[in-house]
A and B are shown apart, each in its own frame.
Chain A
Amino acid sequence: MATTTRSLATTEAPWIRYTLTTLALALITLLLIVPLLSVFYEALHQGWQLYQDSLLESDALAAIKLTLIVAAISLPLNLVFGVAAAWAIAKFDFKGKSILITLIDLPFAVSPVVAGLIYVLLFGAHGWWGPWLAEHDIKIIFAVPGIVLATVFVTFPFVARELIPLMEAQGSEEEQAALVLGASGWQTFWHVTLPNIKWGLLYGVILANARAMGEFGAVSVVSGHIRGMTNTIPLHVEILYNEYNFVGAFACASILALLALATLAIKSYIEWRTEQQAAEDRKHATEE
């Protein structure tokens, strides 16, 4: 967008622009920046040393590691699902589509507490498959697989939901053209669809990633809270907070905020690289 020159036809009078921008920034400040700063203030107001110590403590490191592992497993699963579901829903017309979309939305509406509970009902000692699992000494809940499942559940809709409106708005004329020109289904997907949806896809993944790392309620039910073993960062934050170790709690919380900002930085970098690439391609094209 940075490259487009704006004609008056497609933008507003300057005073409207300034008013809207100011209003948006004011709201963001009030709703986002102030709470964010308060997290960092609480984490740092007793000095850098204490902040550093809280993060390098072994339980905190174990929690950070577990959180990254869980996100790394659950994200690709939901990514593949999201693309498949969006393809089916946005590119085709079939009966029961609204019901399918609604079912995809459902994990958002399920209270995190319940999201944890349902896996307990399935895999818990008295759940559907609990006795069988115990017999074979397979641990699902109160171990990493349970934490992954709960995380997959709460981040389930993100990618699909991000892609569906986008792919619907784009329609399927370009894909049809590619097919008519002889491209295979996969070629069409890789070279036509994917470039068109990449931003939506990226947003979806980033949101799912942030949520996966920050999820508390559902994970709390299936974790077992074994210190240094099954605590993710949010659970570790709760423990520290309940120990009245506010600095430690907010220090770990700030890590999550930083992780989210880091993923966004990566996104910005990719965006920037793509723009550069596009500009270069254009240059080549004109030279030839």
Chain B
Amino acid sequence: MTSLRHWAVALALGSAAALSHADTTLLNVSYDVMRDFYKDYNPAFSKYYEAKFKDKVIIQQSHGGSSKQARSVIDGLEADVVTMNMATDIDAIVEKGKQINAGWDKKFPNEAAPFSSLQVLIVRKGNPKGIKDWADLTKPGIQVVVPNPKTSGNGRYTFLAAWGAALKQNGGNEAKAREFTQALFANVPVLDAGGRAATTTFMQRQIGDVLVTFENEAEMIAREFGRGNFEVIYPSVSIDADLPVAVVDKVVDKKGSRKAATEYLSYLWSPEGQEIAAQNYLRPRNAAVAAKYAKQFPAIKLFGVADFGGLKAAQKKFFDDGAIYDQIAADIAKKK
């Protein structure tokens, strides 16, 4: 009994001692695909921060599906910063959790998105089905692997990319765009819950002729599955996916970590941060870095979510329950 008490006292003292020495700790709640980027970025930032402020900063990482992570923050996960793949996820924290103040997208340049990606087509080696552009995905007999737009931001971007491409081709005719998108989703044999699962279905299980995913994911696939096993096709036009970041006001004010958290995000726009992004195949904002890595980022025509009146409007129009995507899914099921 006494030994137990000693132990408890020692533990209490130990943790108190640890607290008095405490370095700043930041929790970055992020989504799945960003793991590799932050693995490189966090040590670089720590070094920079220590040199500048003579103070240590420890960064903890949490990864998961983008919306799921946002939900955790809403429900009380004490993140200092959030780094998401859709602005709607940060908006949700503003509206439902009130941990982030409105106007977060004005606190950093580029609407608080330090880099972007876009949707590309990944086909089997030698492109046996001759896939060149979005229109080829709607042909009968082609199997397209995409993640479920209902459960994955990646899937939502794919849907919007296809819809936008069809709009451009048909002079803004919405009925045509819908027909086109329906034909594309009718060719989907498996709807995985997330982008990474879709990649596994395509690469490991060898299902489908084409996988639609982010450009930076294509690089990950190359690193993990070998470069010779597939080809990346850039369609004639694609969607510009901005990847936003924000400081979680309520948490940093409580913890007193606002300075470090703001530094952490600002540094994403520094030349070093931008360079690390480019190395991870995220399209940088910095012109000099963009020029240096121009070779790996082919210039193609892009449209943004602004064309849909912003992500929030797009979510409501296409992806909410009973909205266009659900109607399309029901029509496809009926025809089969």
B111 at the interface (CB under 8 A from A): no
Q: Which of A123, A134, A225, A242 contacts B62 (CB 8 A)?
A: A225
Interface string of B56-78 (1 = CB under 8 A from A): 00001111100001001011111
A171 at the interface (CB under 8 A from B): no
B29: chain A residues within 8 A (beta carbon): 224
B32: chain A residues within 8 A (beta carbon): 242
B327 to nearest A CB, angstroms? 26
A76 at the interface (CB under 8 A from B): no
> In the complex, A127 Cα to B96 Cα: how many Å?
12
B63: chain A residues within 8 A (beta carbon): 225, 227, 239, 242
Are B76 and A134 in contact (CB-based, < 8 A)? yes
Interface string of A117-146 (1 = CB under 8 A from B): 000100111110010001000000110000
Are B27 and A244 in contact (CB-based, < 8 A)? no
Q: Which of B27, B36, B76, B99 contacts A226 (CB 8 A)?
A: B27
Give the interface size bracket for A toward B.
20 to 34
A229 at the interface (CB under 8 A from B): yes
A237 to nearest B CB, angstroms? 13
Interface string of B201-233 (1 = CB under 8 A from A): 000000000000000000011001100000000
Are A142 and B220 in contact (CB-based, < 8 A)? no
> In the complex, A120 Cα to B64 Cα: how many Å?
17
B132 at the interface (CB under 8 A from A): no
A123: chain B residues within 8 A (beta carbon): 76
Are A142 and B76 in contact (CB-based, < 8 A)? yes
A141: chain B residues within 8 A (beta carbon): 75-76
B198 to nearest A CB, angstroms? 11
A43 to nearest B CB, angstroms? 15
A245: chain B residues within 8 A (beta carbon): 224
B150 at the interface (CB under 8 A from A): no
Are B61 and A120 in contact (CB-based, < 8 A)? no
- Per DSSP, are chain A's interface residues mostly helix, strand or loop, or mixed? loop
> In the complex, A120 Cα to B76 Cα: how many Å?
9
A127: chain B residues within 8 A (beta carbon): 75
Are B224 and A244 in contact (CB-based, < 8 A)? yes
Interface string of B93-109 (1 = CB under 8 A from A): 00011010000000000
B168 at the interface (CB under 8 A from A): no
B206 to nearest A CB, angstroms? 15
Are B224 and A125 in contact (CB-based, < 8 A)? no
Are A142 and B60 in contact (CB-based, < 8 A)? no
Are A142 and B78 in contact (CB-based, < 8 A)? yes
> In the complex, A220 Cα to B64 Cα: how many Å?
9
B72: chain A residues within 8 A (beta carbon): 142, 224-225
Interface string of B109-136 (1 = CB under 8 A from A): 0000000000000000000000000000
B281 to nearest A CB, angstroms? 15
Are A226 and B61 in contact (CB-based, < 8 A)? yes
Q: Which of B97, B196, B200 contacts A126 (CB 8 A)?
A: B97
B78: chain A residues within 8 A (beta carbon): 142
Give the interface size bracket for B toward A.
20 to 34
Interface string of B221-250 (1 = CB under 8 A from A): 100110000000000000000000000000
A228 at the interface (CB under 8 A from B): yes
Are B62 and A227 in contact (CB-based, < 8 A)? yes
B317 at the interface (CB under 8 A from A): no
Are B196 and A242 in contact (CB-based, < 8 A)? yes
Are B225 and A244 in contact (CB-based, < 8 A)? yes
Interface string of B180-201 (1 = CB under 8 A from A): 0000000000000010100110
In the complex, which residue of chain B has the Cβ closest to the Cβ of A243? B35
A232 to nearest B CB, angstroms? 14
Are B60 and A229 in contact (CB-based, < 8 A)? yes
Are A130 and B76 in contact (CB-based, < 8 A)? yes
> In the complex, A125 Cα to B194 Cα: how many Å?
27
In the complex, which residue of chain A has the Cβ closest to the Cβ of B64? A225
> In the complex, A226 Cα to B26 Cα: how many Å?
11
Are B220 and A244 in contact (CB-based, < 8 A)? yes
> In the complex, A61 Cα to B20 Cα: how many Å?
27
A22 to nearest B CB, angstroms? 32
> In the complex, A2 Cα to B224 Cα: how many Å?
52
A124: chain B residues within 8 A (beta carbon): 74-76
> In the complex, A125 Cα to B221 Cα: how many Å?
38
A229: chain B residues within 8 A (beta carbon): 60
A125-B60 in contact given A226-B27, A243-B35 (Cβ < 8 Å): no
Interface string of A198-236 (1 = CB under 8 A from B): 000000000000000000000010001111110000000
> In the complex, A228 Cα to B196 Cα: how many Å?
22
Are B62 and A226 in contact (CB-based, < 8 A)? yes
> In the complex, A155 Cα to B290 Cα: how many Å?
53
Q: Which of B77, B194, B199, B225 contacts A142 (CB 8 A)?
A: B77
A224: chain B residues within 8 A (beta carbon): 29, 62, 72, 77
> In the complex, A245 Cα to B220 Cα: how many Å?
11
> In the complex, A229 Cα to B29 Cα: how many Å?
13
> In the complex, A244 Cα to B199 Cα: how many Å?
9
Are A125 and B196 in contact (CB-based, < 8 A)? no
> In the complex, A185 Cα to B63 Cα: how many Å?
53
Interface string of A92-124 (1 = CB under 8 A from B): 000000000000000000000000000010011
Interface-centre pick from B35, B75, B77, B196 (highest chain A CB count, 10 A): B75
B96: chain A residues within 8 A (beta carbon): 126
New A-B contacts (10) at CB < 8 Å, excluding given A120-B75, A224-B29: A125-B76, A126-B97, A127-B75, A226-B61, A227-B60, A227-B61, A229-B60, A242-B35, A243-B36, A244-B225
Write 8 A-B pairs (CB below 8 A) sorted by A numbering. Answer: A125-B74, A125-B97, A126-B96, A239-B35, A239-B63, A244-B199, A244-B200, A244-B221
Top-7 shortest CB links A-B: A125-B76, A124-B75, A244-B224, A225-B62, A242-B196, A142-B77, A224-B77
